[in-house]
Amino acid sequence: MIEKINKTDDSTWSDLEFMLSGPQTVEEVLSEATLREAERRGVEKGKMQLIEQIEEEVKSHLKRYFDSIFNLAKIAKEKVQSAFPEARILDFRTFLLPFSDDLNLFIVFDDIDFEIDIKIGFLLSEIEREFLAENNIFCEILYVRKTSNLDIASVKRDYPFCLKV
């Protein structure tokens, strides 16, 4: 089974030498094991630090996102109520996109007349532009008048989250 190695065949001898190389004493084995364990622990510690850093960034981003959507709803409510006191807001809704920088707000108004409806549309467009200029955040504000033909189920499906402002 064991073949005598011909020293003239250098490639076979170097292969065998490679297979037999490595730590030869207990101290060398312990040193190599220590280095490998230190590397493993360093990778794990680095991974944990990276996870903690990412968690902090995600929490910060989510806080900024939710603060922005509530701020947008608050601004819209104040400006609409001051400009059109007869327009009653029934609901603020949104479809949360927390890992996007875009905000969407959907406002349900009580039944208002057509002329006020048009004016509110212009006011909401102005709020979108101002919000973008002041906060550098793109937002879209849509609205609807509550009438007998409003499909509130589809509104809830498209904008599932209700905001309490």
Q: Which two tokens stand for residue 125?
A: 């467009």
Mean pLDDT of 131-157: 89
pLDDT at site 112: 85
pLDDT digits (tens, 9 = 90+) for 9-55: 555 655 555 555 666 677 887 888 888 888 888 888 888 998 999 99
pTM reported for the whole predicted model: 0.70
Report the run of H or E that residue 92 belongs to, with start and end. Answer: strand 89-94
Beta-sheet pairing, 139-145 with 161-163:
unpaired
pLDDT digits (tens, 9 = 90+) for 57-84: 999 999 999 999 999 999 999 999 999 9
Instruction: Give the three-class secondary structure for 16.
Output: helix
